[in-house]
A and B are shown apart, each in its own frame.
Chain A
Amino acid sequence: MAQERDVDKLSGTATTGHEWDGIRELNTPLPRWWLWIFYLTIVWAIGYWIVYPSWPLMSSYTVGLFNWHSREAIIADVEELKAQRGPMVQRLAQASLQDIVADENLSQFARAQGRPVFLENCAPCHGGGGGGAKGYPNLLDDEWLWGGRLEDIELTIRDGIRSAHSKQRQGSMPAFGRDGILKRPDVEAVTDYVRSLAGLGSDPAANLDQGKKVYAETCVACHGADGRGNREIGAPNLTDAIWLYGSDRSSIIEGLLNGRGGMMPAWAGRLDDSTIKALTIYVHTLGGGVR
């Protein structure tokens, strides 16, 4: 370069040639130790390219000398965890549900195992705390469509309800209105009658007699003469305080007109046996489990 370098007399360092009000900017080089560490990191990075998967190719990528794979690393971690829990999981798999409940340690382990499984798989419908939602049963209360004993819960988790599983159980409320089985006045009458079964106040003008007649002709097969339902077929108890779709008149009318059909997926095959057992124990001890 033709331009003469302006060297600061005091420090002996070249300046950038810039000057502001008599202040000149020194062109101080980076410290050598800093530069060496910088170069070293570059060399280190090249080492990474060689040993780890790094560069994308047309249809694959460079595998690296270590043959390391993030997915395999996770699998190894999971295997390690399984090995760590192995003895307890083994006991869980071998023991019956009653034995697990009787063994304090084992039931504690089952609850601890069941909780994350519940949060991962069940919480989207039943809620993180198991409180359910409209159409999705509350698992904390003592009302169960398909039974609340340990075996009942396990069976429901395993095979599901209307789940398209080979051992699925069917249970649905027919669409009496839409399919033309009941006329609108009959629907309203039986609604008032059903609400009276549960002790819910009804309009004095309601035709309970007509409702009772319709109930006896149409509903009794599933819900029973006394309205207490049938857990064999998932018919809900109509006399208690728990209403899956709401106890107000319009909700019940809606159910009678268009029918109801809850669906519980089958978890057999998706979760292994010991996990389903742990989940069963967890759900059972949420508070609603029937002994």
Chain B
Amino acid sequence: MALAAVDKREPRGAGSEPVVVEAAAVVRQLRDPAPPPGEPEDEAPLYAARRKIYPQAVHGTFRRIKWAVLVVTLGIYYLLPFVRWDRGPNAPSQAVLIDFPNHRFYFFFIEIWPQEVYYLTGLLIIAAMALFLMNAVAGRVWCGYLCPQTVWTDLFCAIERWVEGDRREHMLRERGPWTANRLARAGIKHFLWLMVAWWTGGAWVLYFADAPTLVKDLATLEAPFVAYAWIGILTFTTYALAGHMREQVCTYMCPWPRIQAALTDEHALNVTYRYDRGEPRGSVKKNAALLERGFPAGDCIDCLQCVYVCPTGVDIRDGANLGCIQCGLCIDACDAVMAKIDRPPRLIAYDTDLNIKRRQEGKPPQQRIVRARTLLYTAVIAIVGVVMLYALATRTTESISVIHDRNPAFVRLADGSLRNGYTMRIVNKQLMVREFALDIRGLANVSHEFIGVPGSTDGRRIVEVGPDQTREVRVLVTGRQATMPPSTPIVFEITDIATGLQAQTSDYFRAP
């Protein structure tokens, strides 16, 4: 639908015509797309070359929200690696750190081991449901305000407008020859873009090592090659995606618009052109004259400001559109125009087609935020959130796992008794050295041998595990009975001798 709309508005050859045309001419073209003579209209090419977009500066509520979101999200992204968090001498003091060499993830007071990566699964479920919930309440909130592609593109557009001038100035200069002025501006723009992109890549690698140290190493060219490689990769992707590809990422590369379109319903608020109020559109004078003579006339004066400010170049007045990221900038643009012509604001607003129809029928508009799907998404978020919080709150700092020897599962000794071998791994997730007493229960008349663990004075086997480390202990259990059942449950237990905290696991004693 979006493509068809674009095709109608852009007859072939439009790119070679002067870009700045009189609004009325555009409107005529919009209304009466003249098919080339002798060819039926439906034979238009399926391919449409990209039309460069020059988003115009805009001021208003939604622009201010977008600036705020940009400052907050980018601020977090660029500065978070430098936030410190004291964990004592045995762990890094960086608040957020993905420590690949030591297989740890630190997030303020949380420390995650690789086997606890299911927390990530929970986070991903919550993230997906939050995305769905946003979509059910107010459409593409993510796309319009929060998505990194949107935020960085916004930043790059702001730099572009600052260096190259606003839409009109920029377009006029690009139509002209390559002067020194144009060359200088283009050079400065690309330099600034690359600086931002480079800083973006630079901030990324800081999440994987101690940030201040890495900054120093990067500056003195002593950082590992992989850090420079990642900075290079992310500099390139940021520069390409936010500087050059922009809305094409949203329209062609990102799957979310397609998924979003399948998930939405008629009650979700969307940035909507209220055609009930706007149509028929026309110039201020013409519409005033029409009204005077008793003909219907809308508030839309066809000034195209909504199109000029749009970062994806869509015309919101065409209705729901796959290209529209619903950033609300057209609302700001239209409100400014409405104020000038003394009409009420929000000709474009967060609304639904359903409400437009209801107003046309004389019914009051309806706002249904509490619906089956919003309740469902909220419930899933709440349930997964509670489960994760519970898991995090009850997370143990010691654990034990045991692997039974296979091949052979049991050994017959010279005196006829049977022995099973186990490899025991003791996990200490606390940031200090701990001593654990080892116990094996569940089998009478057996002897235990812990290889490499000396016995203590009172006969208990004590094993020391380093801070935030694991230790492997080989255990031999010998049954003294003449005959034993093929499989007997057996429990391995560790007890922190300082705190009494325990962990246990079970396995089996095998016999022929």
Q: A interface vs B, CB < 8 Å? A: 9-11, 104, 107-108, 127-129, 131, 138, 140-143, 237, 240-242, 285-288
With known contacts A10-B43, A140-B419, A285-B452, A129–B412 Cβ distance under 8 A: no
> Would you call B476 an interface residue if the criterion is a C-beta within 8 Å of the partner chain's C-beta atoms?
yes
User: B469 CB to closest chain A CB, in angstroms?
Assistant: 13
Chain A residues near B421 (CB-CB < 8 A): 140, 286-287
- Per a CB cutoff under 8 Å, which of A140, A241, A286 touches B416? A241
With known contacts A10-B45, A143-B414, A287–B419 Cβ distance under 8 A: yes
Q: Say whether B476 contacts A287, CB under 8 Å.
A: yes
- Per a CB cutoff under 8 Å, which of B39, B407, B416, B476 touches A10? B39
The docked-state distance in angstroms from the alpha carbon of A285 to that of B405 is 14
Instruction: Give B476's nearest chain A residue, CB to CB.
Output: A287
Q: Say whether A241 contacts B45, CB under 8 Å.
A: no
With known contacts A104-B452, A287-B419, A138–B43 Cβ distance under 8 A: no
Instruction: Give A286's nearest chain B residue, CB to CB.
Output: B421
Chain B residues near A242 (CB-CB < 8 A): 412-414
> Would you call B322 an interface residue if the criterion is a C-beta within 8 Å of the partner chain's C-beta atoms?
no
Q: Say whether B413 contacts A241, CB under 8 Å.
A: yes
Count residues on chain B whose CB falls below 8 Å from chain A CBs: 21
User: A128 CB to closest chain B CB, in angstroms?
Assistant: 6
Chain B residues near A143 (CB-CB < 8 A): 413-414
Instruction: Give A143's nearest chain B residue, CB to CB.
Output: B414
Q: Say whether A128 contacts B407, CB under 8 Å.
A: yes
The docked-state distance in angstroms from the alpha carbon of A205 to that of B286 is 128
Q: Say whether A140 contacts B452, CB under 8 Å.
A: no
Instruction: Give A9's nearest chain B residue, CB to CB.
Output: B39
Chain B residues near A9 (CB-CB < 8 A): 39
Chain B 40-63, CB within 8 Å of chain A: the 1/0 string? 000111000000000000000000
> Would you call B4 an interface residue if the criterion is a C-beta within 8 Å of the partner chain's C-beta atoms?
no
Interface residue ranges of B407-464 to A (CB < 8 Å):
407-408, 411-416, 419, 421, 449, 451-452
- The main secondary structure of chain A at its interface with chain B is loop
Chain A residues near B413 (CB-CB < 8 A): 141-143, 241-242
Q: Say whether A129 contacts B405, CB under 8 Å.
A: yes
> Would you call B182 an interface residue if the criterion is a C-beta within 8 Å of the partner chain's C-beta atoms?
no
Chain A residues near B449 (CB-CB < 8 A): 287
Rank and list the top 8 A-B pairs by shortest CB-CB distance, nearest first. A131-B408, A240-B414, A129-B407, A241-B416, A140-B411, A143-B414, A287-B476, A285-B451
The docked-state distance in angstroms from the alpha carbon of A107 to that of B454 is 13
User: A130 CB to closest chain B CB, in angstroms?
Assistant: 8
The docked-state distance in angstroms from the alpha carbon of A135 to that of B373 is 70
The docked-state distance in angstroms from the alpha carbon of A129 to that of B360 is 82
With known contacts A129-B405, A287-B419, A241–B39 Cβ distance under 8 A: no
Q: Say whether B415 contacts A240, CB under 8 Å.
A: yes
- The main secondary structure of chain B at its interface with chain A is loop
Chain B residues near A285 (CB-CB < 8 A): 451-452, 474
Chain B residues near A142 (CB-CB < 8 A): 413-414
The docked-state distance in angstroms from the alpha carbon of A287 to that of B413 is 10
New A-B contacts (18) at CB < 8 Å, excluding given A131-B407, A143-B413, A240-B415: A10-B39, A10-B45, A11-B45, A107-B452, A127-B408, A138-B408, A140-B421, A141-B412, A142-B413, A142-B414, A143-B414, A240-B414, A241-B412, A241-B415, A241-B416, A242-B414, A287-B476, A288-B411
The docked-state distance in angstroms from the alpha carbon of A133 to that of B416 is 18
Q: Say whether A241 contacts B414, CB under 8 Å.
A: yes
Chain A residues near B412 (CB-CB < 8 A): 141, 241-242
User: A280 CB to closest chain B CB, in angstroms?
Assistant: 15
Chain B residues near A108 (CB-CB < 8 A): 452
User: A103 CB to closest chain B CB, in angstroms?
Assistant: 10
> Would you call B406 an interface residue if the criterion is a C-beta within 8 Å of the partner chain's C-beta atoms?
yes
The docked-state distance in angstroms from the alpha carbon of A237 to that of B413 is 13
User: B120 CB to closest chain A CB, in angstroms?
Assistant: 31
Chain B residues near A128 (CB-CB < 8 A): 407
Q: Say whether A237 contacts B407, CB under 8 Å.
A: no
Can you give 19 A-B contacts (C-beta < 8 A)? A10-B39, A10-B44, A10-B45, A11-B45, A128-B407, A129-B406, A131-B411, A140-B411, A140-B421, A141-B411, A141-B414, A142-B413, A237-B414, A241-B415, A241-B416, A242-B412, A285-B452, A287-B411, A288-B411
Instruction: Give B417's nearest chain A residue, CB to CB.
Output: A241
Chain B 231-266, CB within 8 Å of chain A: the 1/0 string? 000000000000000000000000000000000000
The docked-state distance in angstroms from the alpha carbon of A140 to that of B416 is 14
Task: Output the residue of B45, B405, B412, B421 with the most chain A CB within 10 A.
Answer: B412
The docked-state distance in angstroms from the alpha carbon of A128 to that of B412 is 17
User: B414 CB to closest chain A CB, in angstroms?
Assistant: 4
Chain B residues near A288 (CB-CB < 8 A): 411
User: A235 CB to closest chain B CB, in angstroms?
Assistant: 15
User: A10 CB to closest chain B CB, in angstroms?
Assistant: 6
Chain B residues near A129 (CB-CB < 8 A): 405-408
The docked-state distance in angstroms from the alpha carbon of A128 to that of B407 is 7
Chain B 259-283, CB within 8 Å of chain A: the 1/0 string? 0000000000000000000000000
Instruction: Give B38's nearest chain A residue, CB to CB.
Output: A9
